[in-house]
Amino acid sequence: MQKRILGKNGLEVSALGMGCMGLNFGYGPATEKGQGIKLIREAYEQGITFFDTAEAYGQLNEELVGEALKPFRKEVVIATKFGFKDGNSSLGLDSSPERIRKVVDNSLQRLQTDYIDLFYQHRVDPNVPMEDVAGTVKDLIAEGKVKFFGLSEAGVASIRKANAVQPVSALQSEYSIWWREPELEILPTLEELGIGFVPFSPLGKGFLTGAINENTQFDSTDFRNIVPRFSEENRKANQKLVELLSDIAKQKEATPAQIALGWLLAQKPWIVPIPGTTKSHRLTENIGGASVNLTPSDIVAIDEAFAKTNVQGDRYPSHLQKRVGK
Active site amino acids: 57
Beta bridge partners of 200: 174
Question: Comparing C-alpha atoms, which of 117, 121, 115 is closest to residue 81?
Answer: 121
Provide DSSP, 256-285: HHHHHHHHHHHH-TTB------S-HHHHHH
Judge contact between 231 and 314, C-beta under 8 A.
no
**Separation between Cα atoms, residue 260 and residue 283, nearest integer Å:** 14
Kindly state the helix (H) or strand (E) to which residue 132 belongs, with its residue range. Answer: helix 130-142
Distance CA 43, CA 68 (A): 11
The answer to whether 30 touches 23, Cβ cutoff 8 Å, is yes
Residues forming a β-bridge with 6 = 11
Q: Which of 73, 78, 52 is nearest to 274 (CA)?
A: 52
Amino acid found at 145: K
CB-based contacts of 57: which residues, under 8 Å, 6+ apart?
20, 21, 24, 25, 26
Question: In this structure, are strands 146-152 and 116-121 parallel, antiparallel, or unpaired?
Answer: parallel
Q: Shortest CA distance to 56 belongs to which of 220, 271, 229, 200?
A: 200
Buried b (16+ CB within 10 A) or exposed e, 308-317: eeebeeebbe
**Euclidean distance between CA atoms 183 and 188, whole angstroms:** 7
